[in-house]
Amino acid sequence: MKLLFIFAILFLSSFAFAKGSEYSLIIDKAFNNQLLDIDQDYDRSISAVGFVKNYKTSSNSTNRYTNAFDYLESVSSAHSTQMQLIKVDAGANILLDKTKSLSSFSEAVSLVKTPANGYYVGGHTMDGQLILLKLDAHANIIFKKIFGTKNLDRLKTLVKLRDGGVLAIGTSATSRDSNDPLFNTGLGMSDIYVTRFSKNGYKLWSKKYGTEFDDIGIDGVEANDGSLIIVAQTMQNSGKNLMLMRIDENGDKVWLKQYNDDPTVTPRKIIQLRDKNFLLSLSYKNELNKDQVRLLKFDINKNILSDKKIYTLYGSALLDIQEFSDEGIVGVGYVKDTFNTDALAMMFDSKLNMLYQEHYGDDNFDLLNSLVILNNSQIAAAGIHTSKNSQESNMWILKLNRDASIAQIASNTNEFYEKLCQLFSDEINTNKIRIKKDLTIELLDKRLLFKVSEYELNKIQKIFLKKFSNKLIPFLHKHQDMVDTLEINGHTSSEWGNVGFSQNFLKNEKLSMNRAYATMSFIFKNQTEKLQKYLGDVFKGSGYGFSKKIMLDNMEDREKSRRVSFKIILNEKK
């Protein structure tokens, strides 16, 4: 079937709004639509894919058809489900809103970033063809691949590979054509279907796997040694069983293990952990026939290391999970009670103990399909939002904090941060200072640190602080409508001779305040009267003692702990 790809920007047919100052972005288009996968771009924006419905109310065609199938084919591009790509910034503004229209129904189900800040988008047509698109950063097509068997195929996910290619995992109906090279006698009605592509879109191999029963490909992940762990489900005797399979980089089977302990289990998502083991999110039915969360940890040789069941009052499932840099886990999905379904997020520690659980949405149907951990440890999630008293689902992007609360929409913080970095580009490039996203300014040059028990400024510190403050203070004054506070914070290391904890704490606390005051006093005295009056409104000095000492490899770096730091706090109203 010939496929025609046409780009359409749909600003006139969509409406997006965020709830108050919370980062809960609802993109309302005509008819049912949803987002199925999400990732962060290299410019810190967020991209998500899913599908929209696209219907035309009239046609200008004058063609006459004698065959109903010819007519249906002629209007399929006008009445269809189409792939959708959404890109948003930290302010919940839509940067990109594109539909990729095919000549038949199609759904995008998976998104993978490319090294060039573009995208792989995977999906399928409603008549069983599989689709792989490679897009540039502006969503222009680099290549398109249509693949699959002669049967009804469905794509479940794309897996990013270290060689720049992708692995497509899904399900295919069993081939009954002896000329089909994928035919394998003894497979069931449906089989696991895996295809590997190079970074240039070359199909390296396609293979089917399964049992004599019906098998469904769910997810996969690349191990450190280049082998691939595939997660599937086997439908057997009116029950469902978990199947794990390890294949090598050429698709040859290393091992296959079926778990028959729970016929109600449904696999959802697998990830590789930082300790090189694997974590699988499952759901199972409890004695009340409600979905419950189950987390299974295993090693590359299929040995079970941990099997944790999370009991909740209502039915719940985690459709996606990810690991933080500190080995904590976050998952998103849904929670269902008698009357409605809400979106769900759960936070776990490294031992899989649940720390937080929150529900989101209105009194209708809401669900989160996918998540990504952002560079600042916030979480962006994509899914479905259904407004109260509505029957149509909308695309939904939700941003969460580490404690599962909904994050606030960034106002001018990013712009302010970029201007600040530009102002101090020389100091940053020479490793004298570091400016963090939360507008904390840290001094890195060892010559700017304090010696043990000292708080008076030396000549090198004074020279630097004069130049530094003569840039910073006028800049803050220029943007005074945005700035609420300039904090100068003193810090110490944790040692103080042979004294007890009480004296150690009090002496270090006083020393840290003296360091903050000495720095504040020097900066204040070197400003004009106009700027001094301004500083009188925004200056704040604090002493943290050794409560925020610098750690390196779990050891205190005493030299770097003896310092002052600066923090700019913006006015929340701006």
Residue 162: pLDDT over 70: yes
Domain boundaries, the chain: 162-263, 413-570
Alpha-carbon distance 279 to 296, whole Å? 6
Whole-angstrom Cα distance, residue 486 to residue 226? 50
Q: Is 340 helix (H, G, I), strand (E, B) or coil?
A: coil
386 three-class SS: coil
Q: What is the pLDDT of residues 501-526, one digit of tens each?
A: 889 899 999 999 999 999 999 999 99
Per-residue confidence band for 237, with pLDDT thresholds at 50, 70 and 90: confident
What separation, in Å, do the N-terminal and C-terminal C-alpha atoms of the chain show?
54
Q: Answer yes or no: are the C-beta atoms of 3 and 387 closer than 8 Å.
A: no
Q: How confident is the model at residue 11 (pLDDT cuts 50, 70, 90)?
A: very low
User: Pairing relation of β-strands 141-147 and 153-160?
Assistant: unpaired
- Cα separation, 145 vs 165, in Å, equals 13
Structure tokens at 195: 């295809």
Q: Please give the Cα distance from 216 to 445 (Å, whole number).
A: 57
CA distance 421 to 386: 41
pLDDT attached to residue 55: 52
Say which DSSP state 448 is in.
G
Q: What confidence score (pLDDT) does residue 239 get? A: 78
Q: What angle do CA 393, 35, 95 make, to 5 degrees?
A: 110
Instruction: Check: CB of residue 217 under 8 Å from CB of residue 230.
Output: yes
Number of separate helices (H) and strands (E) present in the chain? 7, 37
pLDDT for 175 equals: 57
DSSP symbols for 42-82: TTS-EEEEEEEEEE-S--------SSHHHHHHHHTTTEEEE
12 Cβ contact list (under 8 Å, min separation 6): none
- Per-residue tokens: 376: 């600042």
pTM of the model: 0.68
Cite the beta strand spans of 291-377 per DSSP E. Answer: 291-298, 304-310, 315-323, 329-336, 341-348, 354-360, 366-373
Q: Give the closest residue to 538 by CA, choosing from 475, 448, 450, 457.
A: 475
Residue pair 8/98 in contact by the 8 Å Cβ criterion? yes
Structure token digits, residue 406:
């909904």
Beta bridge partners of 129: none
pLDDT at 389: 80
What does DSSP say about strands 483-490 and 539-543: parallel, antiparallel, or unpaired? Answer: parallel
Q: What is the mean pLDDT of the chain?
A: 86
- pLDDT band at residue 3 using 50, 70 and 90 as cut-offs: very low
- What is the per-residue pLDDT for 407? 84
DSSP 470-488: HHHHHHHHHTTTTEEEEEE
Q: Which of 396, 416, 398 is nearest to 407 (CA)?
A: 398
Checking if the pLDDT of 329 tops 70, the result is yes
Instruction: Decide if 194 contacts 149 (C-beta within 8 A).
Output: no
Looking at domain 413-570, its CATH architecture is 2-Layer Sandwich (3.30)
Identify the pLDDT of residue 54: 61
What confidence category does residue 174 fall into, taking pLDDT thresholds of 50, 70 and 90? low
Identity of residue 443: L
Q: Taking a C-beta distance cutoff of 8 angstroms, is the pair 104, 128 a contact?
A: no
Measured in whole angstroms, how far is the alpha carbon of residue 206 from the centre of its chain?
Answer: 29
Lowest mean pLDDT of 39-53, 101-115, 435-449, name the range: 101-115
DSSP state of 503: H
Strand partners, 240: 235, 264
Q: How far apart are CA 473 and CA 324, in angstroms?
A: 37
Comparing 51-65, 309-323, 492-506, the range with the smallest average pLDDT is 51-65
CA angle 454, 458, 460 (to 5 degrees): 135
Tokens of 12: 């006139």
Among 55-64, 66-75, 468-477, 495-504, the range of highest mean pLDDT? 468-477
Q: What percent of the chain has pLDDT over 70?
A: 86
pLDDT in tens, 78-104: 445 678 899 998 888 888 888 766 555
- The pLDDT tens digits of the residues spanning 512-567 come to 999 999 999 999 999 999 999 999 999 999 898 988 888 776 688 899 999 999 99
Task: Yes or no: say if 102 and 84 are a contact pair by the CB < 8 Å rule.
Answer: no
Angle at 292 between CA 397 and CA 245, to 5 degrees: 85
> Token pair of 73, please?
């084919």
Residue 360's pLDDT band (cuts 50, 70, 90): very high
Query: Tell me: the pLDDT tens digits for 472-481?
Result: 999 999 988 8
pLDDT tens per residue across span 276-306 = 999 999 999 998 899 999 999 999 999 999 9
Does pLDDT of 25 surpass 90? yes
